[in-house]
Structure formats: structure tokens, C-alpha cells
């Protein structure tokens, strides 16, 4: 090979290698969704970018605790990505355009105390972001009473940049309205996830404690960025093994990884653990040997994890053991555990999700019947964790009657982020609107304007404990949640737990800006899709107050025909009660009288067909097929129109999304496009199944303006869902 040939070969090789690494770089940084809402992409708005660069020239970060080190990393990483250049970190203030981050104590020599007095009046997690002049230099201060407050302020400041907000004259003061802001993982020790639709559990127990996956750190970052400060690692259908030393050393490794981000670890306690682990003959909470066993076990846990948060307990529900096995009540069980935890400042979150198939009463009434008489009987470090509605995370439910009826007991909200009854991770359903619908419902517990949100914030009774939890939708899928838009529900849970009075549209817009684009050509239509999506799903699944008509066990797809199972209240026919005369569950005085568990003003809203909001009509009433609704349509026709509208609206979402081609990165655009196509097919199955099934009772025709189902009812009843996850 002569020199020229050799030189040309080398040049060609260089080009090939360069192209290889360019392609590799593209693969490594593909928009696969892993970065969630913390993408920190360079600001596209030239005017904003110029302004930000003028205002952010260096970072001055005080302290070197693990949390302040996290602040340094996040500010450096975030500003460098957003501004497109390396932002230096200095040890002292040198010029205009500095970001100063530190606690009040760390900044007191630089900043006059009166300028930070409002921050000083906040709690440990509150923060201030202020534009101030220090030594004639214009600076942005991020400060708080504690390191974790500074971290929360850091994420808020980076959100301002990510959403292209003006940062010229900042005067922001924020602190959480809810004390405990948790994710509840329904993760099993074998790494399956009950009702999980995004792969297996992210907790790799085999590799712990020696191997700390970067995913654990990024999980902590994501949670801290939205104010979540606790995580329950294990399923409420608990396994006692997690309380053994073999697992506790692994739990400790996770707690150590999460601690710099302000996240405390909690576990689920299996009530029968003294029998299963301690070889005792009983788990009776009033038995002294049981009490000693739990005290010793809890002391052992704190020897591994000094800031262990406490226990979440599901007891005497769906076959789980509990104090009622021994003739005791829920307060007896919760107080026994709370007594042992109190010395360590730990808490008990005792779930109110209870029902008994042997109790011949409306399932919607049973939690109230069991817990209302116990109001005021729980120890001060116990919260009763109540689902948003009285049945089980349905597409739509009225607020739970316990909210507003247990004034002496702090009640903790439990929402479901994973979409067990809302199409799993193949359906785009933004839950911010569902959450708000419950939070803003008026309980009338202290007269008008007594919404659920005030109950859980503890405002009315001045409870020191308050909490909100969300059943997590996180798995080991590369994008964490399965559906790109399912990330928005994790995000919304955190934002609303921090401040439950925020508007879901504001939250959605922020998420779209941080996740996809700041262009209004993207933000406006995508936000519109998100805000409509919950109502759309309700329409093609359970319109007009229908509920719990999903497929048997897996809860995927329609199953209004489900009957003759081991529990009546696990069947669809128990809830819709359709026959030739009408449909719906009568919960008024003439029926189960579940309505009596609400305040008189709430009862007055729902007690008659005329006064009841149509969204809850079949929840509270049994209604004749020919009853005329406000639209002038009969119940049957209106039900058909709702189901068909749901399908048409999914098509609208798909058309809206498809119009954004070229404005969204190719990978995620195609993901959502395919998933919306799946959602349309699933919505059609829902529509046709329910309309055809209920038609067998109504004996009425589908309105002539609507297309007729292509398949028979028998076809839909015989569909199998063999591959659905999370069952």
C-alpha cells in the first residue's frame, strides 16, 4: 500500500470512526424518557438564554454536607445543561450574577437578617429564592433553615429556568402544606409489582447492599425535585421477611442513598410477623410478649436506620392478618406499634381500606363503620390512611365519607398513581384532575367551605401530623412508568402533596415544558389533551357513576358481566345491578343508605335524582332506563352517547398528537403515537362490550346516529387478557 492509499485509508477510517461515535452518542442520549422532567436541555429561547447567562455567571454554594453536595451537583449539572456552558463554582462572592445557595446560618454574614426574616419563620423544609444586592453585587439567593430546604429551593429555581420564567426580580417563599409526602410501592420481594405496569421492581435485593444502582440516586433526585420526602419500599400485602436482618441491611443501603435527598424509608409491617418470625403463638396486640417482640424488632430496625420513618399497615382486609383476628380493633393494633415507634419518633400509617365479604352490607360503608367509632382513640403518632373514594381507586368516585367525620384523628390521603382501573400504562390518563376533584370536594364538616384538602392539611383540628401518599407507578422500564405520560401522574402527586391547592392545569403545563418543549405550539395542545384525558377515560369506561365493572382480577378491560365469584363484592353485577327496569346502586335511604355517612349538606346534593350531579347518578341511585337527563336524552341514550364520545375523544387525542410530528423527538413521539392507537382499540372494546351488554337489559336500540358494534356480545365476553401485567 503506497503512502497516498494509506493516507486515504486513514482518512476514511477517521470518518467512519467519527460517524460511529456520533451514532453512539445519539444512542446514548436518545430521548428514552429516563431523565423524566429533569432533562435540563439548553434553553431554546434566545432572549431568555441571553438573560439567564447575564444573571447566572457563577455559583457560590455553602457547606459540604451530603445534601449540600447534592445541591452543588444539581445546580452545576442543571445550569450547565440549560445555559449550554460550564458554570463555575466559587468559594466566595466575586461579581454580579452569582447564585448563592446555603442555609440561613451559612448566609448570615453576607445577608442582612431582616431580608431573610420571612424564611426564618418557615419550617425546616421551606425555602426562599430572592434577588438581592450584596456588596453592590446583584445576586440570586436560595436559602432555607435546613440543607434539605436549600435543595428544594434549588429544584424550584431550576424549574424556573426549565419553564423559561423571568428570574430578574425573584421573591419566592414556599413551604409544604403536607408534612408527609410519600410514594407507596406495591413491590414484592421477588421483584414483581402488584398493579405495576412498568416492569419489575427497581429494588434489586440480590445486588444490595454492595451495589447502589445509579437508578436509586436518580429516583431520589426525581422525588426530591417535586418535594416527596418518603418512600414505602414494600407491598401493603406485606411479607414479614423484610423485617429480618438479611433484608434490613439492604434497606439500610437504600436509606443511606436516599438520605441526602431528604427521603426517609418506611416499610410495610405484616401483623402476624411475631408468629412468622418470632415463633410466638399469637400476634394479639394486647399480649405482653407480642408487645415486647415488636419493641425489640423496632429497636433493631433503628439500629440499622436511625431515621427510619415507620410502618404502613394493611390489616384485616382482603385476607391480611390484623388485630380483629384476636377480637381487638384497629386502634388496638395501631397503638401497639405506635407505642414502640414513638421512642424513635416513628409513625404508623394504618390503612382504612377494609371490607368483609361476610358483612351483608354495602362495601362502600364498611370503612366508615369500622373507623368512625374509633375517632380519638389512636395515639398521636398514628395517621389513618384513607383512599380518595369509598370503593377502590375507581375512574370516578365521590370523596370518602371518613374525610370530615374523624376530627380527632389525622387522616392521610391515599391516591393511586398506577392506573389499576384506568387502562394501565397503555392509556393516557392524566390524574391531576382526578386528584383535584377529590381534594376540592366540600365535606361540610365545619359548614360550607370545608374541602377535603383542609382535612388532610390538618388545618381544621390543628393536627401536627399530615400526609398524602400515592401508590407508585414506577418500575424498571427505561422510562420508569411505561407510558411517557404516566410520568406526569408521579409528578402531579408530588406537586399536589407539597401544595394540594395547586391547579392541575398549571402542573400539567410545567410538566409538558420540562418534559417535551417550551413552545406554545406543543404546550397548549398537549396540556389540553391531558386536562381532558380523565373525563375521556371515564366516558369510555364508567360513565354516569358506573363503577367496578372491569375485568375479573386483572381489572384490565371491561367485564360488566362478571358474577358468581367467591366474593359478591368482587363482581361487577354487585355494583351495577342492571335489569330490565334500570341500572345503578341505590345508596340513598331507600337502599344501602351509604349516603347517610356524609354531612347533611352533602346528602342533600345527592339524595334525589333531580339534585344528584349526573357524574355520580348511578353511584347513588338506581335509575330507570327511560329516565330523562338534563340533556333531554333518556338514561339509555345518554349512556350510549357517553361511551361513543369517549372513543371519539381518544381519536381527537391521537389526531392532536399526530399534528405535533416534528416538534417532539422521534422516539417519544412514536411511543405515544403507538400507545394512543392501542388506547383507541381498547376504548372501542370498552364501548362495544358495555353498550351490547347493558342493551340486553334495556331492550332499547343504540341511537341511529351512532355506528353499530362490529362484533357480537359473545365475542367481547370471550376475549382473553392473558398477557396483562401486574396481576
Question: Any catalytic annotation for residue 707?
Answer: no
* CB contact set of 720 (below 8 Å; sequence gap of 6+): none
C-alpha pair distances (Å), 316 with each of 113, 235, 416: 54, 15, 20
User: In this structure, are residues 506 and 236 in contact, taking their beta carbons and an 8 Å threshold?
Assistant: no
Expressed in percent and rounded to 5, the helix, strand and coil fractions of the chain are 45, 10, 45
Number of H helices, E strands in the chain: 23, 16
Q: SS in 3 state form for 641-663?
A: HHHHHHHHHHHHHHHHHHCCECC
Radius of gyration of the chain (CA): 27
- End-to-end CA separation in angstroms for the chain: 65
Question: Any catalytic annotation for residue 392?
Answer: yes
Question: Any catalytic annotation for residue 125?
Answer: no
CA pair distance 573, 595, nearest whole angstrom: 20
- Dihedral sign (CA 89, 90, 96, 99): positive
Nearest to residue 49, comparing CAs of 60, 38, 41, 59?
Answer: 41
Angle (CA) 129-131-132 rounded to 5° is 120
Beta bridge partner(s), residue 331 = none
**Could you tell me whether strands 582-583 and 623-624 are parallel, antiparallel, or unpaired per DSSP bridges?**
antiparallel
CA pair distance 44, 35, nearest whole angstrom: 18
Residue 289's Cβ-side half-sphere holds a number of Cα atoms within 13 Å equal to 9
The residue from 174, 420, 477, 680 that is catalytic is: 420
Nearest to residue 319, comparing CAs of 415, 412, 414, 238?
Answer: 238
Burial class from Cβ neighbours inside 10 Å (0-12, 13-18, 19+) for residue 590 reads exposed
The residue from 74, 392, 437, 569 that is catalytic is: 392
Q: Where are the beta strands (DSSP E) in 272-407?
A: 310-313, 347-351, 382-387
Beta bridge partner(s), residue 182 = 230, 469
User: In this structure, are residues 593 and 361 in contact, taking their beta carbons and an 8 Å threshold?
Assistant: no
Residue 666's Cβ-side half-sphere holds a number of Cα atoms within 13 Å equal to 4
The residue from 58, 256, 318, 356 that is catalytic is: 318
CA pair distance 133, 655, nearest whole angstrom: 50
C-alpha pair distances (Å), 203 with each of 189, 193, 196, 228, 242: 9, 11, 13, 18, 12
**Could you tell me whether strands 127-134 and 137-144 are parallel, antiparallel, or unpaired per DSSP bridges?**
antiparallel
Active site residues: 318, 392, 420
Amino acid at each position: 500500500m503506497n503512502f497516498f492509499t494509506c493516507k486515504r485509508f486513514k482518512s476514511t477510517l477517521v470518518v467512519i470512526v467519527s460517524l460511529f461515535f456520533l451514532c453512539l452518542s445519539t444512542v446514548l442520549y436518545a430521548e428514552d424518557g429516563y431523565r423524566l422532567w429533569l432533562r435540563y436541555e439548553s434553553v431554546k429561547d434566545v432572549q431568555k438564554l441571553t438573560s439567564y447567562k447575564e444573571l447566572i455567571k457563577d455559583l457560590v454554594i455553602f457547606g459540604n454536607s451530603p445534601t449540600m453536595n447534592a445541591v452543588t451537583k444539581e445546580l452545576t449539572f442543571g445550569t450547565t445543561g440549560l445555559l449550554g456552558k460550564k458554570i463555575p463554582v466559587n468559594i466566595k462572592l466575586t461579581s454580579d450574577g452569582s447564585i448563592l445557595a446555603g442555609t440561613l446560618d451559612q448566609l448570615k454574614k453576607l445577608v442582612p437578617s431582616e431580608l431573610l426574616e420571612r424564611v426564618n419563620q418557615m419550617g425546616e423544609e421551606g425555602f426562599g429564592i430572592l434577588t438581592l444586592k450584596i456588596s453592590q453585587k446583584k445576586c440570586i439567593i436560595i436559602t432555607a433553615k435546613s440543607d434539605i430546604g436549600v435543595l428544594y429551593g434549588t429544584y424550584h429555581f431550576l424549574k424556573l429556568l426549565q419553564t423559561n420564567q423571568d428570574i430578574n426580580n425573584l421573591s419566592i417563599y414556599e413551604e409544604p402544606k403536607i408534612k408527609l409526602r410519600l410514594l407507596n410501592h406495591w413491590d414484592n420481594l421477588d421483584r414483581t409489582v402488584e398493579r405495576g405496569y412498568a416492569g419489575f421492581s427497581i429494588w434489586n435485593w440480590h445486588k444490595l447492599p454492595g451495589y447502589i444502582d445509579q437508578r436509586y440516586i436518580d429516583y431520589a433526585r426525581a422525588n426530591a425535585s417535586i418535594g416527596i420526602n418518603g418512600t414505602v419500599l414494600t407491598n401493603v400485602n406485606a411479607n414479614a421477611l423484610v423485617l429480618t436482618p438479611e433484608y434490613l441491611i439492604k434497606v439500610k443501603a437504600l436509606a443511606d442513598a436516599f438520605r441526602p435527598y431528604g427521603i426517609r424509608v418506611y416499610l410495610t409491617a405484616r401483623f402476624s410477623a411475631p408468629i412468622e418470625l418470632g415463633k410466638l403463638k399469637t400476634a394479639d396486640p394486647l399480649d405482653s410478649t407480642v408487645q415486647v417482640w415488636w419493641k425489640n424488632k423496632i429497636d433493631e430496625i433503628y439500629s440499622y436506620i436511625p431515621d427510619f420513618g415507620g410502618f404502613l399497615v394493611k390489616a384485616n382486609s382482603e385476607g391480611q392478618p390484623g388485630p380483629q383476628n384476636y377480637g381487638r380493633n384497629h386502634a388496638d393494633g395501631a397503638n401497639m406499634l405506635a407505642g414502640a415507634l414513638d421512642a424513635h419518633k416513628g409513625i404508623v400509617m394504618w390503612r382504612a381500606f377494609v371490607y368483609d365479604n361476610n358483612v351483608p352490607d354495602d362495601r362502600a360503608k364498611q370503612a366508615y363503620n369500622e373507623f368512625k367509632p374509633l375517632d380519638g382513640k389512636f395515639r398521636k403518632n398514628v395517621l389513618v390512611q384513607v383512599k380518595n373514594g369509598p370503593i377502590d381507586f375507581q375512574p370516578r368516585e365521590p370523596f370518602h365519607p371518613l374525610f370530615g367525620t374523624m376530627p380527632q384523628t389525622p387522616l392521610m390521603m391515599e391516591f393511586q398513581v398506577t392506573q389499576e382501573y384506568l387502562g394501565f400504562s397503555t392509556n393516557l390518563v392524566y390524574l391531576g384532575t382526578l386528584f383535584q376533584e377529590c381534594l376540592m370536594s366540600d365535606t361540610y364538616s365545619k359548614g360550607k367551605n370545608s374541602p377535603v384538602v383542609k382535612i388532610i392539611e390538618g388545618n381544621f383540628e390543628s393536627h401536627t401530623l399530615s400526609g398524602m401518599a400515592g401508590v407508585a407507578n414506577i418500575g424498571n422500564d427505561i422510562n420508569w412508568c411505561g407510558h411517557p405520560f404516566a410520568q406526569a401522574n408521579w409528578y402531579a402527586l408530588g406537586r399536589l402533596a407539597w401544595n394540594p391547592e395547586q391547579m392541575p392545569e398549571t402542573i400539567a403545563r410545567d410538566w409538558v415544558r420540562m418534559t417535551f418543549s417550551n413552545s406554545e405550539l406543543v404546550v397548549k395542545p398537549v396540556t389540553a389533551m391531558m386536562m381532558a384525558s380523565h373525563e375521556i377515560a371515564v366516558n369510555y369506561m364508567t360513565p354516569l357513576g358506573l363503577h367496578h365493572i372491569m375485568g375479573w382480577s386483572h381489572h384490565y378491560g371491561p367485564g360488566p358481566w362478571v358474577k358468581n365469584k367467591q366474593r359478591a363484592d368482587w363482581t361487577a353485577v354487585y355494583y351495577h345491578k342492571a335489569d330490565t327496569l334500570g341500572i345503578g346502586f341505590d345508596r340513598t335511604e331507600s337502599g344501602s343508605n351509604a349516603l347517610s355517612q356524609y354531612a347533611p349538606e352533602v346528602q342533600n346534593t345527592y339524595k334525589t335524582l333531580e339534585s344528584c350531579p349526573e357524574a355520580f347518578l348511578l353511584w347513588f341511585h338506581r335509575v330507570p332506563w327511560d329516565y330523562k337527563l338534563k340533556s333531554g336524552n333518556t338514561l339509555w341514550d345518554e349512556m350510549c352517547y357517553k361511551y361513543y364520545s369517549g372513543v371519539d375523544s381518544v381519536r381527537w387525542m391521537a389526531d392532536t398528537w399526530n399534528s405535533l410530528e416534528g416538534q417532539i423527538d422521534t422516539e417519544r413521539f412514536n411511543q405515544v403515537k403507538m400507545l394512543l392507537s392501542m388506547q383507541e382499540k381498547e376504548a372501542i372494546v370498552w364501548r362495544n362490550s358495555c353498550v351490547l351488554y347493558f342493551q340486553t337489559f334495556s331492550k332499547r336500540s343504540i341511537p341511529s346516529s351512532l355506528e353499530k358494534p362490529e362484533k357480537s356480545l359473545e365475542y367481547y365476553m370471550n376475549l382473553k387478557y392473558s398477557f396483562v401485567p401486574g396481576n
